[in-house]
Chain A
């Protein structure tokens, strides 16, 4: 069965520090992978997506993610965090041909001044 695990519920980093949010997935074929960000009381906004090809993908707002098939991971990174990055982040996997998506439980990011 497909599943997505985000092992960190909360993460706090200092402004200007680097960030890595972890995501592990369980899926039998090559996955379609996504990272979304959600501000309080808002919907989800797509940060980046991986379909195939280059395993390092660039997204909006300076985020990037690396697909590692051997580790079933798709971790999100940012070299220098800004206070405006404080939000909740969701990793998701898409099931091709079934139009279904599976989401992790989210990681809430706090940014210290």
Chain B
């Protein structure tokens, strides 16, 4: 089973600040998906195939990475981005989620 380790576990960013969330895989994966989960809500597909934004996702978000190292970047933090972000790998069985990064507003 591939273990996904997300860092940091929690972070706070100021409006306008650039934010980078990381996801490290224990073995190489072909691509990474990212999900946004706001408090009390279900997860939403946010980025798929490492770098493709899901429908409706603002273009201040981007994704990158390969092999064992992936990241989600917000070019300019906004209040609506407060949420927990999870990475999910589906290229190797079984599917596994990272532990999540909780993003707060400073």
Are A and B associated in one complex? no
- What residues make up the interface of A, taking CB atoms closer than 8 Å to B? none
- What residues make up the interface of B, taking CB atoms closer than 8 Å to A? none
